[in-house]
Structure 1
Amino acid sequence: MARAILPFLALISSLLYIAGTAESAASTSFIKASCKATDYPAVCVESLSAYATSIQQSPRQLAQIALSVSLAKAESMKAFVTKLTKFKGLKAREYQAIKDCLEEVSDSVDRVSKSVRELKYMGNGKGKGKDFLWHMSNVETWVSAALTDDNTCLDGFSGRALDGNVKASIKARVTNVAQVTSNALALVNQFASKY
């Protein structure tokens, strides 16, 4: 009797694996198609593909996870810039630029965090009709402001006097966070336009 069940279980396992693989491929295709509407599609696909099983083919989940990825990147950048403020031997102007950048990045983290919470709140059935538009407007405004904060961080490093490793490392991180945040905003706008 046990021998008769084993082939049956193997067949069921194979079918479940094939179904899971097909679903994952469909989710990945959905992410790729959605990312075409962003300014940085390759970054979009790269940052979201790992979440394909959670996203499935849901525009809401895609926007939610894109915001969560943006938040994680912004928090990581904030931690990095915080560490930079403790470096010894920084020029006075360099230190001030880092402090200003930290303030901007902190604001960015706060705004994206609010956006993540707002979109989750809407996912609990709270966002319908005019409420939906109001909540989406909040999310779009906060993410747009966060993007401005990210870009403003670099303003303090303008000019050749601050060229060097600190500027280069901050610029690389800010650029990555700004690209992911820009993509999140595009995906939020895409989600909002469906309602």
Structure 2
Amino acid sequence: MATPKIITFLLIISIIYFAGKVESASRTRSSATNFIKGQCSTTQYPAQCVQSLSVYASVIKQSPRKLAETALSVSLARAQSAKVFVSKMGKFRGLKSREYKAIGDCIEEMGDSIDRLSKSIREMKRVGNGKGRELQWHISNVQTWVSAALTDENTCIDGFAGRALDGKIKSSVRARVVNVAQVTSNGLALVNRFASKL
């Protein structure tokens, strides 16, 4: 049977070991968060960039490629959520015919955005396998699709222009889709930054 001194000694060793592990994980997370802040400082919406990506610090670590991939994944998730939200808006009773049309057009635009962001994420995963011209081709595809997704999102927002559509539907849809467009803009900036280092 172990003596109390041995048990105490083993307990102290265990505490020191686990405290070191916790401190090391904390340092790694802090380093990753600082990396994200530095990269996000070059985007158009840096505060939103940091807020949306720092929760993934343990996955991103200090990888510009992982940062760009994660930013695109966040954009895709928000675009999907926004499409569902806009679809629900279209089911409200008493919509004006122009509101109904703007919502329908927006749902279509968000569908296109989702498709392009999905393609860009798949293509971004291929970047790791490419070399030289092939690598540049993959990156160019990603940049083209993310740009097109951003255009789709802005087209949805533009569909609600004018005073005739003023009201809760317009403000709700615009707020949701503007958020998606800002995240997509940040994602594109991070892809461009990653591409510039290749």
What band does the TM-score fall into relative to the shorter chain?
A: over 0.9
Q: Deviations over 1:89-144 (max 9, x none)?
A: 11111100100011111100110011111112333xx2221111000000000000
Match of 2:23 among 18, 25, 28: 18
Which residue is equivalent to 1:187?
190
Matched, 1:118 2:123: yes
Q: Deviations over 1:26-64 (max 9, x none)?
A: 101000000011000001001001011111000011001
CA distance in 2, matches of 1:168, 1:16: 48
CA distance in 2, matches of 1:99, 1:150: 13
Which residue is equivalent to 2:48?
43
Share of identical aligned residues, percent? 59
Q: Deviations over 1:122-176 (max 9, x none)?
A: 33xx222111100000000000000000000022211111000000001101110
- Report the CA distance between 1:3 and its aligned residue: 3.0
Matched, 1:84 2:69: no
Match of 1:145 among 148, 152, 160: 148
Match of 1:135 among 131, 135, 138: 138
Match of 1:70 among 75, 79, 101: 75
CA distance in 2, matches of 1:122, 1:190: 14
- TM-score normalised over the length of structure 1: 0.96
Find the structure with the greater CA-based Rg. Answer: 2
Matched, 1:34 2:44: no
- Report the CA distance between 1:86 and its aligned residue: 1.6
- Report the CA distance between 1:4 and its aligned residue: 2.2
Match of 1:59 among 49, 53, 64: 64
The one-letter code of the counterpart of 2:182 is Q
* RMSD over equivalenced CA pairs, Å: 0.9
Q: Gaps spanning 5+ residues in structure 2: where?
A: 1-5
1:94-105 correspondence runs (5 A): 94-105=99-110
Moved more, 84-93 or 179-188: 84-93
Match of 1:6 among 3, 11, 22: 11
Secondary structure, in 3 states, of the residue corresponding to 2:92? coil
Matched, 1:157 2:164: no
CA distance in 2, matches of 1:72, 1:59: 20
Q: How many residues align?
A: 193
CA distance in 2, matches of 1:184, 1:127: 21
The one-letter code of the counterpart of 2:172 is S
CA distance in 1, matches of 2:144, 2:62: 25
